[in-house]
Amino acid sequence: MNRRLQLVSGLMGIAGMFGLVGLLAAPGAARAQPAFPSKPVTIVVPFPAGGALDIVARALAEEMRKQLGQPVIVDNRAGAGGTVGSALVARAAPDGYTILLGSVATHAIAPGVYRNLTYDALKDFAPITQVTASPLLLASSATLNVKTLPELLATARAQPGKLNYASTGNGTAVHLAGAMLQSAARLDVVHVPYKGGPQAVNALITGEAAFMVVNVELVLPQVVGGKARALAVTGSRRLAVLPDVPTMSEAGLNGVDATTWFGLFAPVGTPKDVVERLQRDAATSLRTLKDNFAKQGDEAIGSTPDEFAAHVRAEHAKWGKLIKDLGVKID
């Protein structure tokens, strides 16, 4: 009997010893995890290929690839004004390998216009950095016989309910800027949402849409090529790339001041050091891209995570009030 007790005691001692070894090894095992990044990083773009967000994402991905030393993949997950791709990232593993290039649409406008949004724009993401900022451009179709903002307004007022204006989709900055113009100028015009930027711009140049308030990089080639006319910008100052195009207020219309922005987000819970690494490499990339972005009407930013988080909160409040004032809702 004593021998049996000694055997049991010995086995328990061995088990305890292995348990202690396991506990002592655990911190070492955690430290042995491969340093970030050890595999490709995916940037989810919640709008179709060829749009403004996609153009910026692909340029940024190529530069960040050089900084991270890993492939950076652009994955277009379009739908519902950017909310489908944004929700996907909100539910992704918080490890830095799946991040979002979001926008004013996904994080400031969508919470105000979608009744059943499946993510919380302020709680479900870790802001990394603001990538760009830019005003929008009011452009008319070359098929419409107008060359200035006053001429466009006069034409629309002479044909109430007849002119269409295009957007890149319901709940986008392009949609809201068009609604701002419609409200400020008291126009009776029809909003036609398209699946994305390329489709909306195609409607503009064919005359299917009379005008749109659009991201500069999307329509600039059409303006240069004479297929669309630039009438005014929505910012407080003129664009260097279009120095002869007045601001809305210079052209005689107040109340249409809209600046769009793009920014990188990780899922909430992503380790701070991973967020900081992504921010640092994105900011370095943006310094390289600064001049090229300026040529397409974008200002490169590269803010810190805290700065970007504060910006998103402010924009969330600003656009929420504007949406309420305009009465815009999407089911």
Judge whether 41 and 97 are in contact, CB under 8 Å. Answer: yes
Which fold would CATH assign to domain 135-233?
D-Maltodextrin-Binding Protein; domain 2 (3.40.190)
Which one has a higher pLDDT value, 240 or 12? 240
DSSP character string of 18-32: HHHHHHHHHHHHHHT
Closest CA to 211 of 182, 173, 252, 240: 182
pLDDT score at 32:
56
Same topology, domains 41-134+260-326 and 135-233? Answer is yes
Q: So what's the pLDDT on residue 17?
A: 40
CATH topology of domain 41-134+260-326: D-Maltodextrin-Binding Protein; domain 2 (3.40.190)
Mean pLDDT rounded to a whole number for the chain: 91
Q: What is the pLDDT of residue 329?
A: 81
Cα(179)–Cα(210) distance, rounded to whole angstroms?
Answer: 15
Give backbone dihedrals phi and psi of 161, rounded to 5 degrees, phi first: 75, 5
Based on the number of CB atoms within 10 Å of its own CB, is 70 exposed (0-12), middle (13-18) or buried (19 or more)?
A: middle
259-267 and 125-141 beta bridge pairing: antiparallel
- pTM value is 0.87
Q: How far apart are CA 179 and CA 109, in angstroms?
A: 13
User: What pLDDT is attached to residue 331?
Assistant: 62
Per-residue DSSP letters for 199-250? HHHHHHHHTSSSEEEEEHHHHHHHHHTTSEEEEEESSSS-BTTBTTSPBTTT
Q: Where are the domains of the chain?
A: 41-134+260-326, 135-233
pLDDT in tens, 124-180: 999 999 999 999 999 999 999 999 999 999 999 999 999 999 999 998 999 999 999
Cα-Cα-Cα-Cα dihedral sign, residues 274, 52, 154, 241 = positive
Using one digit for the tens of pLDDT, what is the confidence trace for 41-98?
999 999 999 999 999 999 999 999 999 999 999 999 999 999 999 999 999 999 999 9
**Close Cβ partners of 302 (under 8 Å, ≥ 6 residues apart):** 129, 130, 131, 282, 283, 286, 287
